[in-house]
Amino acid sequence: MRTQPSSKGIARFGKRALMASVVALVVLSDAVIAGESLEQRVQRYWTARSINDVHTVYGLESAARPGGWLTPDKHQQLGGLPVREIKVVETRIDGDKATVTLQGQVAVGTLGWMPQTLTEDWVLIEGEWYHQTPQR
């Protein structure tokens, strides 16, 4: 004779498994954001730039850190051309500084979308990579 597991036992086990999965996902997602690699931070920065997510871009600027010179209104003045299809081509890390080469498309007035290669600097501050804000 076979015995069937009780539905209450299955439900309890299912709830525990679900809770454990949710907790694991929350912990893992926080770890990814907190310990992002240079390339992940660069991708997040440029994805935010391409969709005009000013809050994310500002948060990844080195000069926006506490004590920095960049304020939200100054950040708006930095501007920049619309971008899309950004790809990281090369990263060179030297201690707490990095140089990143990117390729993508830039909207140039009536000329439309033009291919562009860009090299920019990133800096490691308190274990996190930040875009080196250009002084303008």
Measured over the CA atoms of residue 67, residue 71, residue 75 and residue 78, the dihedral's sign is negative
Report mean pLDDT in 10-residue bins for the chain, 136 residues.
55 50 36 67 92 90 87 70 88 95 91 92 96 83
Tell me, what's the pLDDT at 9? 54
Helix (H, G, I), strand (E, B) or coil at 43: helix
In the DSSP assignment, the letter for residue 132 is -
Tell me, what's the pLDDT at 78? 65
Structural tokens at position 117: 């290669």
Helix (H, G, I), strand (E, B) or coil at 101: strand
